[in-house]
Amino acid sequence: MPGGFGWGGFAWGGFGWGGFAWSGFAPNLAWAAAAALAVMLATFAVAVRTGRHRIVDVAWGIGFTAVAAVTFAASAGQGDLLRRLLVTVLTAVWGLRLAAHIARRGRGHGEDPRYEAMLAKAPGHRNAYALRKVYLLQGALVWLVSLPVQAAQYVQGPPSVLGRAGVALWAVGLAFEAVGDAQLARFKADPAGRGKIMDRGLWSWTRHPNYFGDFCVWWGLFLLACDAPAAAGVSVVSPVVMSLLLTKGSGKRLLERHMAERPGYAAYRARTSGFFPRPPRRRP
């Protein structure tokens, strides 16, 4: 095995169980944290200057892209080049598309009502509170959720069937996100849809095609780390945390609470899957 000699499935000299470069991955955790922190602090500076903290949502996808790029540079010579390229490109395509979509959606708007409501109750200085409760928290989540992106780049050997399945799952997720976002944007731009519930296209199969897409993206990236048991073990927390955030945390649960009182939403909820896509129920 490159980098040392092995015994009983364990390799010394830098590479761990199943061809995983522990000696490179461990310091990479610090490099990734620094990259996520740098993105969030730069975003905070822009938000203070413009008076709008909603820009932090744009930084979410950029933060993952920065972590992937820093890890790609740090893992040179320690992980398989094809896997490193795949993970970096897939993360960047997902992250930059999401950032661009959120930036377009927020153009010309004031502060996000969520942040306005939160900061209105802030004890002390609003910006200092936002830094602690929004930017540093999101930076920590970027670091935690990006563990498969980091770990996969220190795995030896090209992607197996499991890795290729991960790429396919990522593609399904990106398609759900991109198509769902485009369909919703067209619906909102049409005056005929004003005051109505979006229940067309992917939105007739799931109430949250974009959140389901996120779910697939992160489980797909995790599968790219699964060719090394150590990499899978150290990063499985990432898709689990992302799944909980999407379904129980700041994603689906909060959005549905906000939508609950809208006319027609109860009927839409009754006939449409809450997360995993399926044909809409036919009700008499």
What pTM was estimated for this model as a whole? 0.88
Average pLDDT of the segment spanning 57-65: 96
Asked whether residue 174 is domain-assigned, the answer is yes
The answer to whether residue 10 sits within a structural domain is no
Across 127-150, average pLDDT: 94
Rounded Cα distance, 91 and 62, in Å: 10
The CA-based diameter of the chain, rounded to the nearest angstrom, is 68
pLDDT at 251: 67
Query: What DSSP string describes 178-199?
Result: HHHHHHHHHHHHSGGGTTS---
Tell me whether residue 9 is in a domain: no
Question: For residue 203, is pLDDT > 90?
Answer: yes
Domain count for the chain: 1
d(CA 252, CA 243): 10
Evaluate the CA torsion angle 211, 245, 143, 163 in order and state its sign. Answer: negative
**3-46 per-position pLDDT tens digit:** 332 323 333 333 344 589 999 999 999 999 999 999 999 999 99
Q: Which runs of consecutive H residues, i.e. helices, occur in 190-264?
A: 209-223, 229-235, 237-247, 252-259
pLDDT given for residue 1 in this prediction:
30
pLDDT band at 123 (very low <50, low <70, confident <90, very high): confident
Inter-residue contact 61 to 43 (CB < 8 Å)? no
Cβ atoms within 10 Å of 10's Cβ, excluding its own: 12
DSSP 3-state of 159: coil
What is the Cα 275 distance to its own chain's centre?
16
pLDDT in tens, 155-201: 998 999 999 999 999 999 999 999 999 999 999 888 887 878 888 99
Rounded CA separation 263/215 (Å): 28
pLDDT in tens, 234-263: 999 999 999 999 988 776 777 777 777 788
pLDDT at position 228: 94
Proportion of the chain above pLDDT 70, given as a percent: 92
Q: Does residue 282 form part of some domain?
A: no
C-alpha to C-alpha distance for 172 and 191, rounded to whole angstroms:
31
Contact by Cβ (8 Å): 207, 269: yes
Tell me, yes or no, whether 278 lies in a domain. Answer: no
- Residue 56 falls within a domain, yes or no? yes
Token pair in block for residue 67:
């972590």
Q: Can you give the residue range of the structural domain that contains 80? A: 15-271
DSSP string, 37-74: HHHHHHHHHHHHHHT-GGGHHHHHHHHHHHHHHHHHHH
Backbone angles phi, psi at 235, to 5 degrees: -115, 0
Query: Is residue 1 one of the residues assigned to a domain?
Result: no
Spatial CB neighbours of 85, under 8 Å, sequence gap ≥ 6? 72
